[in-house]
A and B are shown apart, each in its own frame.
Chain A
């Protein structure tokens, strides 16, 4: 449930606001419907990870991955653009996961 809420709202939000909207949405969603810290983190991480993979591919595939293939060469990694996609999604996942975790923890702090 939390996963889907974050995914859908962040998808819409990403067209209206800068990238950090993902953190805001994950935080607020977890604040209202989050249950345990563990589940909130996994939902937030998973939702933004998946979302950023989708958003990045929507830009990169029409570009034949030209830019991604160049940018990955700036990293000390094998020259595969898919790694850049994973790095991107991992950063997004951490942002979403930590924001959702913060949401649940904030709720717990105030409900006591």
Chain B
């Protein structure tokens, strides 16, 4: 299962009749508000009573600005009603209960109809040699871009208009290409008649996975395992040649030229020992920040456009007005922004890691670490040397990444392999606190214990507990 990211959380502006907030305007008439008093018990103090106002959409979040913590939750509007799928009653456990006992494709389809949220890509494979994938959940019926912005809560057409029927959620069974996959990218193409969301995970990882699966012959557990550690950057493939093309090498200092030659020859893999990866990454981030300088605003929280938009702008609209840096009198062009961001990136790397060399390796530059839940020093892994980055299959960023890697082989007997970067004990003094970490870091997997019957023997069974009624 992986996330679908369906648009299931919307905001509605509410017009109250008066300050008592007992009635609100909807469908051309005044409607009654529902008030619910929440009692929050506090140890050693009087309980806190919070009166929450509900329209038919849902709760009104923050009655006024003073209730909102300063400098936090900046993306949450004040005084608007929230419609969120998570407030609906649901029975996800039924889905998993049925999936755990399912025998075939039909049982899988049946199980999915009980699932509400958060919508997931349910991937399926069976011993009957069926494969399938279904981005599944209770997904509201909406018009295009509905809920992308705060909506007028008085207009019934802005309400959710029902649900996409479960049998019309996107799904595919036994496609001709012979495999199914998802990396949380957009679930459908333009031909799908319903609206799911306006944004999804970037296409990069999904594309790379499909590219690799397409050419895989007689795949084994190891083929998939090695693919999980793939560091190839689709972004670099898509835009690095264009970025390099804009650089006037006659204007570079010797160190900058050296860095330029390294990134030019880079194989586009975010490997731990890659210097090119560090240069490309620093350059890309500087470029992105300089390009969207218009979005830096002290008063209003603005999301910068997506990375795809940045890539498209670079590749197809080099004369766009967005390339101008607003803080300078000059009129910057795509060339200027790429030159300046390249210089800034190299300066920054040089300042932190000296002249171009081993210290510039991606494994050093990327501060990969796994912290203890309480961020206690010494209780996590500390910095470790590793490849990977956001938009590659091995999506290991600084402090987060693929925490559960698993490969399952279906027949004749089901065999599973998996690992997570920790251990089976939560006790920091235990030998089993992080004994699986290096296995995970090195891209290895452990065979999972999957007993076929209650009397099956295995030397991995350390103790047995029998429950009697």
Contacts of A63 in B (CB 8 A): 429
Distance, CA A73 to CA B378, complexed state (A): 5
Which among A4-12, A28-36, A64-72 touches the partner chain? A64-72
Q: When chains A and B are docked, how far (Å) is the Cα of A83 from the Cα of B433?
A: 23
Q: Which secondary structure dominates chain A's binding surface?
A: helix
In this complex, what residue of A is CB-closest to B433?
A66
Q: Is the CB of A79 closer than 8 A to any CB of chain B? A: yes
Q: Which residues of A contact B428 (CB under 8 A)?
A: 66-67, 70
Most A-side CB within 10 Å, residue of B378, B428, B431: B378
Q: Is A74 in the interface zone, CB < 8 Å from B?
A: yes
Size bracket of the B interface: under 10
Query: Does B376 reach chain A (CB closer than 8 Å)?
Result: yes
Chain B: CB-nearest residue to A59: B429
A79 touches B378 (CB 8 A): yes
Is B377 a contact of A66 with CB atoms below 8 Å? no
B377 touches A74 (CB 8 A): yes
Question: Nearest CB to that of A67 among chain B residues?
Answer: B429
Task: Decide if B379 is an interface residue (CB 8 Å cutoff).
Answer: yes
Does A74 lie within 8 Å of B376, measured CB to CB? yes
Q: What's the Cα separation between A60 and B433 when bound, in Å?
A: 16
Q: Within B415-461, which residues are at the interface with A (CB < 8 Å)?
A: 428-431, 433
Query: Roughly how many angstroms separate A72 CA and B430 CA in the complex, as a whole number?
Result: 16
Which A residues between 29 and 85 are near B, CB-CB below 8 angstroms? 63-64, 66-67, 69-74, 79
Q: How far is the CA of A72 from the CA of B376 in the complex (A)?
A: 11
Contact in complex: B378, A72 (CB < 8 Å) = yes
Q: How far is the CA of A64 from the CA of B377 in the complex (A)?
A: 19
Cα of A42 to Cα of B379 in the assembled complex, Å: 36
CB contacts (< 8 Å) of B379 on chain A: these are 70, 73
Q: Which positions 375-429 of chain B face chain A at CB distance < 8 Å? A: 376-379, 428-429
Taking CB atoms, residues of chain B closer than 8 Å to A74 are 376-378
**Residues of B with C-beta under 8 A to A71:** 378
* A interface footprint on B207-227 (CB within 8 Å = 1, 0 otherwise): 000000000000000000000
Closest to A70 in B: B378
Q: A72 vs B431: C-alpha distance in the bound complex, in angstroms?
A: 17
A47 to B379: give the CA distance in the assembly, Å.
32
**B-chain residues with CB within 8 Å of residue A67 when the two chains form the complex:** 428-429
CA distance A73 to B433 in the complex (A): 16
Q: How far is the CA of A73 from the CA of B381 in the complex (A)?
A: 12
State which residues 12-29 of B face A: CB under 8 Å.
none
Q: Specify which chain B residues have a CB less than 8 angstroms from the CB of A66 in the assembled complex.
A: 428-431, 433
Which B residues are CB-close (under 8 A) to A72? 378
- Cβ–Cβ < 8 Å partners of A69 in chain B: 378
Taking CB as reference atom, which chain A residue is nearest B382?
A73
Query: How far, in whole Å, are A79 and B378 apart by their CA atoms in the complex?
Result: 9
Among A67-112, those with CB < 8 Å from B are 67, 69-74, 79
Q: Which residues of A contact B376 (CB under 8 A)?
A: 74
CB distance from A65 to the nearest CB of B (A): 10
A73 touches B430 (CB 8 A): no
Docked complex Cα distance between A73 and B428 (Å): 12
Task: Please measure, in the bound complex, the distance between the C-alpha atom of A39 and the C-alpha atom of B97, giving whole angstroms.
Answer: 72
Question: Which residues of chain B from 311 to 332 have a CB within 8 Å of any chain A CB?
Answer: none
A63 CA to B428 CA in the complex, in Å? 11
Residue of A nearest to B378 (CB): A73
Contacts of A79 in B (CB 8 A): 378
How far, in whole Å, are A74 and B378 apart by their CA atoms in the complex? 7
A16 CB, nearest partner CB in chain B, Å: 24
Q: Which residue of B lies closest to A65 (CB)?
A: B429
Chain A residue with the shortest CB-CB distance to B431: A66
State the CA gap A69–B378 with chains docked (Å).
8
Q: Which residues of A contact B431 (CB under 8 A)?
A: 64, 66
Q: Which B residue sits closest to A71, measured CB to CB?
A: B378
6 tightest A-B CB contacts, nearest first: A73-B378, A67-B429, A70-B378, A73-B377, A70-B428, A66-B429
B residues engaging A (CB < 8 A)? 376-379, 428-431, 433
A-B contact pairs, 23 of them (CB 8 A): A63-B429, A64-B431, A66-B428, A66-B429, A66-B430, A66-B431, A66-B433, A67-B428, A67-B429, A69-B378, A70-B378, A70-B379, A70-B428, A70-B429, A71-B378, A72-B378, A73-B377, A73-B378, A73-B379, A74-B376, A74-B377, A74-B378, A79-B378
A67-B429, A70-B379 known; 15 new pairs, CB 8 Å cut-off, are A63-B429, A66-B429, A66-B431, A66-B433, A69-B378, A70-B378, A70-B428, A70-B429, A71-B378, A72-B378, A73-B377, A73-B378, A74-B377, A74-B378, A79-B378
